[in-house]
Amino acid sequence: MSRPAAFVRLIGAVWMLARADALIPREIDPILPPPARLGARFLRLFAGPQARRGRPGERLAAALERMGPAAIKLGQVLSTRADIFGRPFAEDLSHLKDRLAPFPVEVAKAVVARELDRPVEVVFATFEPPIAAASIAQAHPATLHDGRKVAVKVLRPGIEKRIARDVETLELAGRLAELFGPEARRLEPRALTSIVARALELELDLRLEAAGASELAEVMTADGFMRAPGVVWEGVSRRVLTLDWAEGMPLSDPKALEQPGIDRKAIADNLIRAFLAQAMDHGVFHADLHEGNLFVAAPDRIVAVDFGIVGRLDAVARRHLAEILWGFLQRDYMRVAKAHFDAGYVPRHHSVEAFAQALRAVGEPNVGRPSAAVSMGRLLGQLFEITALFDMRLRPELVLLQKTMVTVEGVSRAIDPGHNLWASAEPVVRRWIMRELSPAAKIKDLAQDGVKALQALARLAEAREAAPPVVVVEPNPWPGRLGWLVAGAALAAAGIWGWLRLQGLA
């Protein structure tokens, strides 16, 4: 692949958006400043016949679908933000989730037979036409010979080459944004595009998705807010994935929330809590929780599918996330500010107090209010202005977390327009804080540090025994005494920790 070819494709993408009047649609002319309005009118000189048909969301959806999987992923994220772009726009983009044109069932059967090295009839008693077709794969209902109903996911033919081209174009767009947009550099566009590209590449091996589904099924079982279908391992290969059939109806179906006995508030609560519990308690989370990947059943059951994108957080990032959320929940903006500085999100030359003041200006009008009463467009605008003032750069390792948080909040709002995100998050965040930052937890950490110190001392003693004797003229007793002090403190901490465990306090 070559950079000139990627540049040509990028120009082609801009041209396609301009032809569809989806780059700066005519409907937003009244709110544009005069220079931008003039530029938009110039672009419209190149608009084609499709620019005169349909609403902005319909025109954008059609253009993104023609542009390929990476663009479709962008459309999926936009479709969750009815609060920012308006419900008609979001609904026009919603078909990108799982209702694209399928490829023939005969082609899918040929792929399955080749990948599993057996005729389809040997593996499945029935294999039906697809019920959902997305940008990378499509899903087929099937039954095993023991009568169990399953879903068989099959990659689209030739998708690897298409993804490779999209990834190259995406990375070029990131480089150009960083080169020509000084303000964009703070958002680390190259790092962002590389992470998105890596996520797309991982989706091309369904064995990895099967492993992610299995891992997240264990995590979800531990919390109970969400479930995942079981993996049928004998039906798994690089291009084929077989899972147990998901209970309920997909949220992308308008009738899903009209099922008898559905509790919208409980479903929205479970969605938020499932995501936070996965990320904070386990450090692994489903990173593609849009409506097409979520099935619901009465009264409040949620089943997640499509585990192609799995996010991970290390212990340090989880702690910072919990501190920031808990600080907002408690309206403790100094705690939120310190967490940002401790994590390295804000450069040290800035004032913690000033940053806390800026966070208060954003948080106070919004925290604790129902989602319907909060303008997310205004909130995001304020946050962007503040992060610019304090040189806060995008953290590439948190891209999937941030993207999933935006998606989950948008979906929960669509389920229950009056949903209160903060009240929903509070029990999970409180549980983490009480478990990880309580006095008992601190004693446990001290005991673990003591054990590590003892292990280090033991290794040091072994090294000294193995080394040749050294004549010391004036021995210093303090290193030995310090070692005994550390060992004694560790043993005391371990004893206190054991006593707390016996008393049920830890």
Q: Which residues are catalytic?
A: 288
Inter-CA distances, 313 with 287, 307, 385, 404, Å: 12, 16, 27, 13
Name the amino acid, one letter, at 450: G
Which DSSP string do the residues of 475-488 spell out, in sequence order?
A: --SHHHHHHHHHHH
CA 69 to CA 133: how far, in whole Å? 12
CB atoms within 10 A of CB 302: 25
In angstroms, the CA 502 to CA 506 distance is 8
117: left (phi over 0), alpha (psi -120 to 50) or beta: left
Q: CA 209, CA 151: separation in Å to the nearest integer?
A: 14
Bridge partners (DSSP) of residue 150 are: 142, 244
Helix axis angle, 421-436 relative to 264-276, nearest 10°? 40
Q: What is 276-338 written as a DSSP string?
A: HIIIIIISEEES---GGGEEEETTTEEEE---S-EEE--HHHHHHHHHHHHHHHTT-HHHHHH
User: CA nearest 419: which of 460, 383, 369?
Assistant: 369
Residue 444, C-beta contacts closer than 8 angstroms, at least 6 positions apart: 497, 506
Coil, strand or helix: which one is 135? coil
Q: Tell me which H or E stretch contains 268.
A: helix 264-276
